[in-house]
Amino acid sequence: MQQSNQVSSLESYLRTITAKGRVSHAYLLESPSPDMGLAIAQKFAQMLLCDTGDGCGTCKNCKMVQSFSHPDLQTVQPPEDKKQISVAQVRDVVSESYVKPYMGTRKVILFRDGAAMTVQAQNALLKVLEEPPGDVVFLILCGNHMNLLETIRSRTTLLQLQQMQPSSGDIALEEEERDRLFDLAQKLSGGNLTDCYSVADYFGVRDRKNRKEKKTLALSFQYLLSVFRELLLIKLGCGDLVHGSSALLENVAGSTSMEQIIRVMEQLALGMRRLERNVQYDLLIMSLLYGCIDDK
Ligand SMILES: [Zn+2]
């Protein structure tokens, strides 16, 4: 795995969302190694605070981020003699987040290990994630996003730098079914209305006899999610972590934006939670598909 590749792919992703003003207020960055996570988060912060908006590396803002001395970059970690981030620390961070940036138009608050927050600390952070000040971006690093409260996970954009099991090849579906689902994944990656409607047909929204059983639907979502996870890895320059990476997958990754991949992954994860809660079938499928449309 090449860290520089990941950083440069993230750079181009961030450049796009920064240019389009689509920076999310909070990112959960899951990385296999804390060092790599920190390097990427630092690059992220640099791009967010840079004079030119693309992390030039030479302006005053970039230099200060590189040395962690930028007044608008706040890092949060356990005190030296402790292992956890306390609720008091998080409350301080939350009040600080409402103070206007000192140098530029944004502030970045970086948690070097989000999972080090106590449950109370996470709950304290939740309040600001629910109604975040417009000029603050939270970057929360973690080794495994499942170690954070579900409420935190659902209010942050997850960026994963490692492969999560199972990979698309391990999901118990017939070959033919996988091919069809891969085709659907390609449609979702385009993010357009017509293609999303044909996905609705596959799931039997118009014709009830094509409806899937709950178990099959869960497997289909899981499969689609793993395809998008693989696309994300390729996008991040970690294609070597994808089992049996194919030219087809590379192709789809090449023609899909990072934003769209993340959008679909979020919708699929949400769809899986709705399925667990037995949300009404058509509503579940249609909200998933509408969520995947890139209408901006
Ligand atoms: Zn710069």
User: CATH no. for residue 110?
Assistant: 3.40.50.300
Give the CATH number for residue 182.
Answer: 1.20.272
267 and 124 in one domain?
no
How far apart are the CA of 234 and the centre of ligand 1, in A? 27
Looking at the 3D structure of the chain, how many domains does it have?
2
Q: Say if residue 86 is in the same domain as residue 193.
A: no
- Residue among 83, 158, 153 nearest 125 (CA): 153
Are residues 20 and 148 both part of a single domain? yes
pLDDT in tens, 227-238: 998 888 788 777
Q: Which helix (H) or strand (E) holds 211?
A: none
Are both 202 and 155 inside the same structural domain? no
Q: What is the pLDDT of residue 56?
A: 83
Distance from residue 31's CA to the centre of ligand 1 (Å): 25
Under-70 pLDDT residues of the chain: 1-21, 161-171, 240-241, 243-245, 296
Report pLDDT for 14.
Answer: 66
Question: 160, 190, 206: which is the final residue of a domain?
Answer: 160
Closest CA to 104 of 162, 64, 132: 64
284: left (phi over 0), alpha (psi -120 to 50) or beta: alpha
Residue 166, preceding peptide bond in cis (omega within 30° of 0): yes
Q: Are residues 127 and 192 in the same domain?
A: no
Which residue is associated with the tokens 């140098």?
Answer: 103
CA of 182 to the centre of ligand 1 (A): 40
**Model pLDDT, residue 2:** 46
DSSP β-bridge partners for residue 85: 117
Between the CA of 98 and the centroid of ligand 1 the distance, in Å, is 24
Backbone region of residue 191 per phi and psi (left: phi > 0; alpha: psi in -120 to 50; beta: other values): left
Write down the pLDDT at residue 5. Answer: 54
Q: How far is the CA of 110 from the centre of ligand 1 (A)?
A: 18
Residue 15 Cα to ligand 1 midpoint, Å, equals 12
State residue 19's pLDDT score.
66
Reported as a single tens digit per residue, the pLDDT across 127-142 is 899 988 989 999 999 9
> 202 and 152, same structural domain?
no
Verify that 214 and 259 share a domain, yes or no. yes
Q: 26: CA distance to ligand 1 center in Å?
A: 21
Q: Cα of 84 to ligand 1 centre, how many Å?
A: 33
Ligand 1 centroid to residue 134 C-alpha, Å = 21
Q: Which domain holds residue 230?
A: 168-292
Angstrom distance (rounded) from CA 54 to CA 60? 13
Q: Both 42 and 147 in a single domain?
A: yes
Same domain, 85 and 120: yes
Residue 288: what pLDDT? 94
Burial class (CB in 10 A: 0-12, 13-18, 19+), 65: buried
In the reported structure, the alpha carbon of residue 49 is separated from the centroid of ligand 1 by a whole-number distance in angstroms of: 7
